[in-house]
A and B are shown apart, each in its own frame.
Chain A
């Protein structure tokens, strides 16, 4: 692309600034950088393993895609969230050629809700107090001593975003967004919207999640959402296969530096891809299930494709939400058929959750990075553990082995618990 063709190319068909990606960063259970993660996934390696972070005796699910190599000891949800987000953001800023500490744009962070953990509650309960209170009145009396201010600063909902903003030097109010499992895609959408409005010419969007702790695991387990394939952790996440039995909780972070094409060209930055469309649609059917006709998911996908000013036929690859729950994978297949017609049977569809599990708030950001890498490197990552196809899901899931293919437009889906669905269309740079 040259700048000689005038300003028109800096705008999309709808007259909005074209938004490109100039930096990417990843932390996943299979690697602590973009290249490590890509190499592992290209080889079809799984990051799912037995949980060692806390006692697992008697639990229905004892496996997860934990990130245990960030040096966060002892484990604390917000600290691990921050460390992964910091690492991914740093990698993205380095690649984009922006100086960490002096980033000129806003931060959009997808992060899980903050909540005190049992370790802190127990520490409060054990604090020596000259009183016989029990329960929360005792915990509050311990809090009043002022000895737990460091806990307060860590467990505010704004904490991770605030620390990250301080670290990278982003401008303005750091934004913390949650649309459950679609949060990472929402964070990217917020950055795209800000650039399209002309509020800024660059932004950083990060998704991070460190939710593998006892109580969260049990909560998802109680909803029967998790795979119980504990004996073979690396085989547990089986998107689109007949024997799939739930998702596998996982951790990680993904980051992208978003920039207007004009700004990127002006400073001769390498353009890694284009975020050409974002689509959202809320479901009003049920708290944990999508409307049986798939209308909300279908709506999100259609909105993203139409926002990119494309026809469904232009989509030549799908990075699926593909959680490996019986419900999601069936609904996602149905929705792809509704949008793409019979062509859905031949468009390749990968679920990288087969390898790294479901990284919840981070998933949309991690999957956007992987989609951009597929566009850039001409390789479709495999859906591993696809040993027994589900006859009701007639999709080309890029089974078990990576595949070379030149693609131009990837659809990346993220469907949230609570009915919040977001799809992105990512396109190649030229």
Chain B
């Protein structure tokens, strides 16, 4: 490496801007642990020397690491799942128009990964991230959840006819549903072991954390930086908002978009979210509340007998939502119409959420669900809420598909994902085959006229989106 003062100054500048690769940070570590540290650099030495003896950070680029993870192909296929597959470009609309896409092959539905035993995850399939994120420097500055989201956002924009260079991108508002990014769990583990050995709490502040935390990782952790990265990579420069709050984030995101467009406060919005389920820190966060399903795998409606819980799934789901008039003017083809979005917060006393859901369905329109209504349930599998939801849907005689059985529970991205699936079903004029063999989901023939997508948060928040098929008249 080039140890000149200028080069180190440049590297430090890059480091503090959160732009260094692990390799460059290792160069800094090597420099600072050597004997020829320039005087004006000495103040920074503690940042780079604490873990130097452990050769802790491997000599690989973060992006390579993630790619390796993504490319691992020998996963057990647990549920054989049928026909619809490939990257499916979908979208929908009318009153609002919408288009969407999610970045995955639905055949991954079949895939459950036991890397985090006793927990299971639905992993992301192999993707060439550079197809949507061409710059290596952009890829390097993102962690998995951000790459997934930026990738899916790009697919949605392309599918809606807003390809790279489209002037409409500068006018497209952005709404993201997000949690936050991944921690470096190996660093956390080392810090914890160090803390166990040295009871002095001052040690964390003085030596451990400054050396262990990387600016780049900080930028990958902030909730609003998925939106920030989408703006940077896809040149979206109108407004940008991020909603948080687990499943409620996805619900707030879709509801805000729908209301603004319906009221004329916006014309075209990119809305969605992303989850990287393949993270120990994320699994820990949900397991603190004992929310995860453990091996062996069971589909959603079969899960309550073995304790319930959710199997997290990696996913990115973005939709382009658009005023019908705006879409018509640019000759964009809608996937479906969003007829209504409803949401509420119950206190989760027994059956409180069920009563809220029942009210939301009643408010979405008379006679729902009709025989031609498909209900896409966003149930997580966590009990008792999943059982309460199923009770309401069965009492109303709904045709139900719980998409979490095949795609996993995708938390913030889950409602956008369900809306995307619903839009696809309406566009194709067919219901999905059953996702589950418990007998709850029966095969049906016929063209769906409506889709209800439910969003019952595993902890809080209740919501319902109603999608309607575009009629011949609307399509003109």
Q: Say whether B343 contacts A197, CB under 8 Å.
A: no
CB distance from A203 to the nearest CB of B (A): 13
The docked-state distance in angstroms from the alpha carbon of A197 to that of B264 is: 9
Of all chain A residues, which has the CB nearest B220? Answer: A287
Q: Say whether B166 faces chain A, with CB atoms less than 8 Å apart.
A: no
CB distance from B358 to the nearest CB of A (A): 17
Which A residues between 268 and 324 are near B, CB-CB below 8 angstroms?
280-289, 296, 299
Q: Say whether A287 contacts B225, CB under 8 Å.
A: yes
Given contacts A125-B195, A162-B345, A288-B219, contact A419 B231 (CB under 8 A): yes
Partner of B210, one of A118, A172, A173, A222: A222
* A283: chain B residues within 8 A (beta carbon): 231, 237
Of all chain B residues, which has the CB nearest A120? Answer: B288
Of all chain A residues, which has the CB nearest B214? Answer: A222
* B209: chain A residues within 8 A (beta carbon): 214-215, 218
Q: Say whether B248 contacts A57, CB under 8 Å.
A: no
CB distance from A187 to the nearest CB of B (A): 10
Q: Say whether B314 faces chain A, with CB atoms less than 8 Å apart.
A: no
Q: Say whether A151 faces chain B, with CB atoms less than 8 Å apart.
A: yes
Is chain A's interface secondary structure helix, strand, loop, or mixed overall? mixed
Partner of A177, one of B141, B221, B243, B459: B243
Given contacts A149-B288, A175-B243, A180-B222, contact A58 B205 (CB under 8 A): yes
Q: Say whether A180 contacts B224, CB under 8 Å.
A: yes
Q: Say whether B232 contacts A284, CB under 8 Å.
A: yes
Q: Say whether A397 faces chain B, with CB atoms less than 8 Å apart.
A: no
Q: Say whether A47 faces chain B, with CB atoms less than 8 Å apart.
A: no
Q: Say whether B196 contacts A125, CB under 8 Å.
A: yes
A interface, size bucket: 35 or more
CB distance from B332 to the nearest CB of A (A): 22
Q: Say whether B22 faces chain A, with CB atoms less than 8 Å apart.
A: no
* A281: chain B residues within 8 A (beta carbon): 237-239
The docked-state distance in angstroms from the alpha carbon of A286 to that of B174 is: 17
Partner of B239, one of A175, A194, A282: A282
Q: Say whether B207 contacts A58, CB under 8 Å.
A: yes
Q: Say whether B228 contacts A420, CB under 8 Å.
A: yes
The docked-state distance in angstroms from the alpha carbon of A151 to that of B284 is: 11
Among B28-36, B77-85, B95-103, B183-191, the one that faces the other chain is: B183-191
CB distance from A212 to the nearest CB of B (A): 13
Which A residues between 57 and 96 are near B, CB-CB below 8 angstroms?
57-59
Given contacts A157-B223, A158-B460, A223-B17, contact A144 B287 (CB under 8 A): yes
Q: How many A-B residue pairs have CB under 8 A?
A: 253
Q: Say whether B206 faces chain A, with CB atoms less than 8 Å apart.
A: yes
Chain A 240-277 interface mask (CB, 8 Å, partner B; 1/0)? 00000000000000000000000000000000000000
Q: Say whether B260 contacts A113, CB under 8 Å.
A: no
* A148: chain B residues within 8 A (beta carbon): 288
The docked-state distance in angstroms from the alpha carbon of A393 to that of B227 is: 31
* A144: chain B residues within 8 A (beta carbon): 287, 290
Partner of B235, one of A149, A284, A289: A284
Q: Say whether B125 faces chain A, with CB atoms less than 8 Å apart.
A: no
Q: Say whether B163 faces chain A, with CB atoms less than 8 Å apart.
A: no
Given contacts A197-B263, A287-B228, contact A176 B185 (CB under 8 A): no
Q: Say whether A288 contacts B17, CB under 8 Å.
A: yes
Q: Say whether A174 faces chain B, with CB atoms less than 8 Å apart.
A: yes
Q: Say whether B201 faces chain A, with CB atoms less than 8 Å apart.
A: yes
Which A residues between 180 and 205 are near B, CB-CB below 8 angstroms?
180, 186, 190, 193-194, 196-199
Q: Say whether B186 contacts A135, CB under 8 Å.
A: yes
The docked-state distance in angstroms from the alpha carbon of A179 to that of B17 is: 19
* B343: chain A residues within 8 A (beta carbon): 172-173
The docked-state distance in angstroms from the alpha carbon of A155 to that of B459 is: 12
Q: Say whether B290 contacts A158, CB under 8 Å.
A: no
CB distance from A325 to the nearest CB of B (A): 12
Q: Say whether B39 faces chain A, with CB atoms less than 8 Å apart.
A: no
Q: Say whether A146 contacts B219, CB under 8 Å.
A: no
Q: Say whether A113 contacts B222, CB under 8 Å.
A: yes
Q: Which of A55, A215, A282 has the most CB of B within 10 A?
A: A282
* B241: chain A residues within 8 A (beta carbon): 177, 179, 186, 280, 420
Chain B 236-271 interface mask (CB, 8 Å, partner A; 1/0)? 111111111110110110011001100101000000
CB distance from B139 to the nearest CB of A (A): 13
Q: Say whether A223 contacts B224, CB under 8 Å.
A: no
* B459: chain A residues within 8 A (beta carbon): 153, 156, 158
Chain B 436-476 interface mask (CB, 8 Å, partner A; 1/0)? 00000000000000000000010111010000000000000
Q: Say whether B57 faces chain A, with CB atoms less than 8 Å apart.
A: no
* A284: chain B residues within 8 A (beta carbon): 231-232, 234-237
CB distance from A360 to the nearest CB of B (A): 11
The docked-state distance in angstroms from the alpha carbon of A224 to that of B47 is: 13
Partner of B223, one of A113, A156, A194, A299: A113
Q: Say whether A287 contacts B18, CB under 8 Å.
A: yes
Given contacts A135-B186, A287-B225, contact A122 B195 (CB under 8 A): yes
Partner of B345, one of A115, A174, A215, A419: A174
Which A residues between 142 and 177 are near B, CB-CB below 8 angstroms?
143-144, 146, 148-149, 151-153, 155-158, 161-162, 165-166, 172-177
The docked-state distance in angstroms from the alpha carbon of A214 to that of B290 is: 28
CB distance from B273 to the nearest CB of A (A): 12
The docked-state distance in angstroms from the alpha carbon of A162 to that of B228 is: 26
The docked-state distance in angstroms from the alpha carbon of A214 to that of B208 is: 11
Q: Say whether B288 contacts A151, CB under 8 Å.
A: yes
The docked-state distance in angstroms from the alpha carbon of A278 to that of B347 is: 33
Q: Say whether A29 faces chain B, with CB atoms less than 8 Å apart.
A: no
Of all chain A residues, which has the CB nearest B179? Answer: A157
Of all chain B residues, which has the CB nearest A182? Answer: B224
Given contacts A143-B290, A153-B289, A420-B240, contact A135 B195 (CB under 8 A): no
* A175: chain B residues within 8 A (beta carbon): 243, 245, 252
Top 3 A-B residue pairs of the complex, sorted by shortest distance between their CB atoms: A152-B289, A418-B228, A135-B189
Beyond the given A135-B188, A173-B463, A286-B17, could you list 11 further A-B residue pairs with CB under 8 A, ordered by the A residue number?
A57-B202, A115-B180, A124-B284, A149-B289, A173-B251, A174-B248, A176-B244, A193-B260, A281-B237, A419-B231, A420-B227
Q: 15 pairs across A/B with beta carbons < 8 Å?
A: A54-B205, A116-B285, A135-B280, A136-B189, A152-B291, A158-B246, A176-B248, A176-B249, A177-B252, A218-B209, A219-B215, A222-B15, A282-B227, A282-B240, A287-B229
